[in-house]
């Protein structure tokens, strides 16, 4: 694709990150079929998934391993509705990272904001979720704390997963809360 076309496509994706409500593709299960699939006939649709729980089930990971996974995805492109390393939006990024550690979280920001235990921003630990209001009142953007003043997220602004500081004026003015889910 010519560079100019790539730039135009990238700029068209510079919408703020509020989940579109897109349903992610199922994650593969080692040695089996995709979660939610029937496992018998690929032409037969899978039964509907049960409603997601109000609290995320405990996985096999601590906050440091969750934040390490999130950091390993720096540079992955932003894509509205994206939920894979080929392209993430903010909530798809969070869902993907936690799924890598066996923790199921909802797909959209507002439902992610309902998870876990609310914590004060002064007690953030790696793996905690941080929420911001960007395009609508209430939580409309999410990231993962990596410790100290930093968090990793999939912002639409520069088109790639990156690390930012919570104390940066833009994020500090939009911070709406933090949750611990594991």
User: Which residues are catalytic, by number?
Assistant: 90, 141, 153
CA dihedral 49, 54, 56, 57 (to 10 degrees): -80
- Order across the sheet with 162-165: list the strands: 117-119, 175-180, 129-132, 141-147, 150-153, 162-165
Give the count of alpha carbons within 13 A of 72, CB side only: 10
């Amino acid at each position: 694709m010519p560079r100019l076309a790539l730039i135009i496509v990238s700029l068209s994706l510079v919408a703020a990150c509020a989940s579109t409500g897109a349903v992610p593709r199922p994650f593969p299960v080692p040695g089996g079929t995709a979660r939610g699939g029937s496992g018998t006939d690929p032409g037969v649709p899978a039964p509907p998934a049960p409603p997601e729980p109000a609290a995320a089930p405990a996985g096999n990971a601590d906050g440091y391993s969750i934040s390490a996974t999130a950091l390993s995805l720096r540079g992955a492109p932003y894509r509205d509705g994206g939920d894979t390393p080929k392209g993430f939006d903010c909530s798809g990024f969070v869902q993907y990272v936690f799924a890598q550690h066996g923790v199921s979280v909802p797909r959209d920001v507002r439902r992610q904001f309902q998870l876990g235990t609310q914590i004060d921003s002064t007690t953030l630990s790696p793996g905690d979720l941080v929420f911001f209001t960007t395009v609508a009142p209430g939580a409309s953007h999410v990231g993962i704390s990596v410790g100290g003043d930093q968090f990793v997220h999939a912002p639409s602004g520069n088109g790639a997963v990156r690390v930012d500081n919570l104390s940066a004026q833009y994020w500090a003015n939009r911070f709406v809360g933090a949750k611990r889910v594991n």
